[in-house]
Amino acid sequence: MNSNLSNYFKGVSWFLLALLSSVLNDIISKKIGLEFSFTQISFLRSLGSTLTLIPFILFSGIKTLKTKKLKIHFLRGILLFFALSTWVYGLTITSVASMTIISFSIPAITLILANLVLNEDVKWYRWVATILGFIGVIIAMYPTKTVFDIRMIVLLLSAFIFSTLDIINKKFVNSESMISMLFYSSFFSTIVALPFTYHSWRSLNYIDLSLIFVLGSSANLILYFLLKSFSLVDSSAVAPYRYIELVLAAIAGFLFFNETVSHYIWLGGVVLIFSTTFIFYTEKNNIKICSKF
């Protein structure tokens, strides 16, 4: 197996791990979101992420936090807070699967931004895979009336912010240490969230604290997995694989919240899986062809 193909497989694998961690986060966020404000959850998630990184910082040395891009990290923190807050809000008003459907506007946004901001050469087959995935999204969301709720505009904004974060992370992942990328986004997000949380604060019990710890740890894993993926492949190369999250979210919603999954969602899921299979084999064959020259 040549190095390009190996990196592609590894990049996709890291990205899929990020999706699994993301679904876990959605489950926990939805559960505690029924009891606490979305701003408090965003604050606690960011705080938990920051605290769980401290042992790694102490082990690696404070020098790992050295950066010349503090303003960029602060911007990432601001974006992360608003993305998380609107996302958790969405989980409290609709199903996990429906929220995942909303998130599928992210690949198209990522492709456009990758082309405009990163000057990535977005191959034709990546556009095809993304369009196929979007068709699957339309099929899946057809019977879901809540998708057309005016409040969904806020959730689409959340998807745009997350996509913007993906692009920023991709742009700076190779010039910053992994720990600094993880720490500063969580730290600044915590700072930004603090004033929004003050007036809506509710006390937590031990179970809540345990869930927050898992939420914070899982949040770090999501970003870690994404950064590992982006260090190996273009962000546009893995964008279509995000659609697999729909199937994972539908299963999780049914198992943990007894959320019914219509046959439209499963039909859309089949189209989504087809799109990811298409992009996987197309990328694989393209890399093999390029390696011959």
Residue of 92, 70, 8 lying closest to 290 (CA atoms): 8
Name which of 79-83, 142-146, 204-208 the model is least confident about.
142-146
pLDDT of residue 42: 92
Residue of 271, 237, 279, 284 lying closest to 14 (CA atoms): 237
Q: C-alpha 232: how far from its chain's center?
A: 17
pLDDT of residue 107: 64
Tokens of 102: 């909303």
Instruction: Please state, in angstroms and rounded to a whole number, the distance separating the CA atoms of residues 237 and 286.
Output: 12
pLDDT tens-digit map of 161-175: 988 888 888 777 777
pLDDT over 60 at 1, yes or no: no
pLDDT band at 286; cut points 50, 70, 90 = low
Distances, alpha carbon 127 to alpha carbons 14, 42, 115, 151, in Å: 22, 33, 11, 29
What are the helix and strand counts (H, E) for the chain?
12, 0
pLDDT of residue 293: 42
pLDDT over 90 at 128, yes or no: no
Instruction: Please state, in angstroms and rounded to a whole number, the distance separating the CA atoms of residues 7 and 28.
Output: 32
- Mean pLDDT taken over the chain: 81
List the chain domain ranges. 3-291
pLDDT of residue 184: 93
Return all residues near 134 (Cβ < 8 A) that are at least 6 apart. 104, 107, 108
* pTM to 2 decimal places: 0.73
pLDDT over 60 at 48, yes or no: yes
What percentage of the chain carries pLDDT values higher than 70? 81
When pLDDT is averaged across residues 178-190 and rounded to a whole number, the result is: 91
3-state secondary structure of 166: helix
pLDDT tens-digit map of 97-122: 777 777 776 766 676 666 666 666 66
